[in-house]
């Protein structure tokens, strides 16, 4: 478990529709956490999460499921989509 020295830094991220964003960083820096929060599968400790104009923090669980179904796709790093 990581030793957290206070609150996580605030993040204000605006990605225009249609743009591609790549998250790159060392293991444990929060890439998966950020993607999980933006996808609505993980709740932030504080703040707002607005994706495509929808407030994910205010959504009920069923609405988040519909939102993910209609707007989010995942490609897992170790899903073995291609033979090694």
Residue 5 burial (CB count, 10 A): 5
pLDDT of residue 1: 41
* 57 in a structural domain: yes
Domain count, the chain: 1
Q: What is the domain extent for residue 41?
A: 31-71
* 80 in a structural domain: no
pLDDT of residue 81: 63
The CA-atom distances, in angstroms, between 49 and each of 7, 25, 43, 55, 84 are 17, 22, 9, 6, 37
* 56 in a structural domain: yes
* 36 in a structural domain: yes
Q: Phi then psi for 28, rounded to 5 degrees? A: 90, 5
Residue stretches of the chain with pLDDT short of 70: 1-9, 77-84
* 15 in a structural domain: no
pLDDT of residue 84: 62
């Amino acid at each position: 478990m990581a030793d957290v020295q206070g609150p996580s830094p605030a993040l204000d991220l605006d990605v225009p529709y249609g743009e591609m964003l790549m998250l790159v960083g060392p293991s444990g820096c929060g890439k998966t956490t950020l993607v999980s929060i933006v996808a609505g599968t993980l709740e932030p400790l504080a703040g707002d999460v607005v994706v495509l104009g929808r407030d994910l923090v205010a959504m009920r669980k069923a609405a988040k499921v519909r939102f993910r179904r209609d707007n989010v796709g995942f490609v897992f790093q170790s899903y073995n989509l291609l033979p090694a």
